[in-house]
Structure 1
Amino acid sequence: MEIGNWKNLQYFDISQNMMSGKIPATLGGCVTLEFLYMTRNSFEGPIPSSLETLRGNFLLNVSYQSLLKATDGFSSANLIGEGSFGSVFKGILHDHGALLVAVKVINLSHHGASKSFLAECEALRNIRHRNLVKVLTACSGVDYQDRDFKALVYEFMVNGNLDEWLHSTPRTNEASKEQRNLSVIQRMNIVIDVANALEYLHHDCETAILHCDLKPSNVLLDDEMTARVGDFGLARFLLKQTQDGSTNQSSSIGVRGTMGYVAPSENLKFLIY
């Protein structure tokens, strides 16, 4: 089937696949296409003229006002998580086809929060993997009180985080209260998903990335229970070895780990047993 026949295609992500050849002209027939990701491949030729407007807008264009509206004023009813450097809210971007998102608002009064925001932007800028939470865009500006405002916008993960599934606490949703349980197969699949994400970060990125804060609350689960590693605010980047054979240098942001942090091997052991 020609790709141009995919009339309802909105997101097309084939980045990081080492593919080659000419960009298909039929791609221009995807009239509903909004986001095109083709980085880290070896394609040749021009982007179809009908898609030229996408070239400078591979990420969503959002503002403080649009995020305020999407989260109903960052209301507590939409609060879905809190971390060391910010709070995460569920939101709906009506200007982008009622897109369901998770908005991480950085608490800039917290020491190191700005550096954490920059670290996460740097880590997420060029990485794409099915087991990593996908960042849709970042917002850096001011709020209505002329105070600095920074936020990251992610895909919304409908099944929450792994920590909520590992601990036997009732889940409240719009329809009912229910206990979350993971089968042995689901646990094994999550272990494999997390391991795949770490292998990619450590070995397949141009600059190796160490997450440095891997724990159940930073492992998100999508609608198919596929695990996605998120929260790269404490990520560490390992530079390549120098020609003179000296040891690898690294650039780091902030303090490594958070309260309650457990090494990945212990997390995975607990997940299985």
Structure 2
Amino acid sequence: MPNGNLNKWLHSDVADEQPSLSLLQRLSIAIDVGNGLDHLHHHCQKPIVHCDLKPSNILLDNDMVAHVGDFGLAKFLPHLMNPTQSSSIGVRGTIGYAAPEYGLGSEVSMNGDVYSYGILLLEMATGKEPTDDIFVEGFNLHNFARMALPNRVLEIVDPILLQEDEGGNNNEGPTQARNDCKVECLICMIKVG
């Protein structure tokens, strides 16, 4: 895709001089990915579970519309699943993005993709990968986000998002209203994640 993948936009090196994504662009990408998952899970002849949703598998076209890609681990869901059935195949997906129950041998499900989508939302809001060095000894991206809700969200969001719209000289009027709206939007995004 012309604009590469989401990982490149979220975690590029400073030397790359890659422009950053605004909050509005991130929300648009999140909606595109959500729509893609909805299509796979509910609108295909047989439901499809992606099994490896992560930023490097989200491709961006000329208009920055997101497309879910890399279906190498995808599975068709049978119409009737046995919830007690398990598998010894092992973890499906990428560490940090794969649902924890996959590590316990659980069968693939739409819930696994939903978990990965939540991690993706948290990564888009915080700029932190789920395998970041700060996440050790049971501390993870979910805990990191949960501890900040609702009053300390600005402490954990991607600093690039806080640099947007810094052109105004005062914090009153329309600029303050925009900032309040941005904070509320980030809180909602982190809650969903």
Give the TM-score, by structure 2 length. Answer: 0.49
Q: Name whichever structure is richer in strand by fraction.
A: 1
